[in-house]
Amino acid sequence: MNNIGKQAALYSRIASKGHGVCEYIKRQQKTLRTFALEQGYEDYKEYSDIGYSGNDFARPSMKDLWGDITAGKINVVVVRDMSRISRNLVQLEQWVKETEGYGVKLITLDGSHRIRFTTDDFLKLMKARKKLNIDCSQ
């Protein structure tokens, strides 16, 4: 796949600030970088929020990412899973729709398996998990 010339946004987030956070975020970033390069996204920008909840969008790097999306600088956003973007389903759905409205593709990775969800599939999964009260952070 040739994605040379397209800019990817690699977004990572962790809510805690405690022990082990540095290593966790570094692993998340490394996984995202590896995926981006394997897919041909040689031009990428990393965005990371450490110590910020996924329940709202008042995060410095998320604001920077959104600014770059609306400015037309980003073609694709790569995240470990959509809970890195938001844990609030209403906000997540709105963000995804607005992001796609700018022509930005979303790619979600899941642990060691690379899984691409369509937005509708992912939102259905998140809603089902919420109904069952399953914690998506694990």
pLDDT at 118: 56
CATH of the domain at 30: 3.40.50.1390
The answer to the question of residue 52 being in a domain is yes
The answer to the question of residue 137 being in a domain is no
pTM of the model as a whole: 0.75
Question: Residue 30 burial (CB < 10 Å; 0-12/13-18/19+)?
Answer: exposed
The answer to the question of residue 1 being in a domain is no
E-strand stretches of 26-138 = 43-50, 76-79, 105-108
Q: Tell me the pLDDT of the chain (138 aa) as tens digits.
A: 555 556 999 999 988 877 777 888 899 999 999 999 998 998 999 999 998 888 888 999 999 999 999 999 999 999 998 889 988 878 888 888 899 899 998 888 863 233 344 556 666 666 666 666 544 444
pLDDT at 122: 63
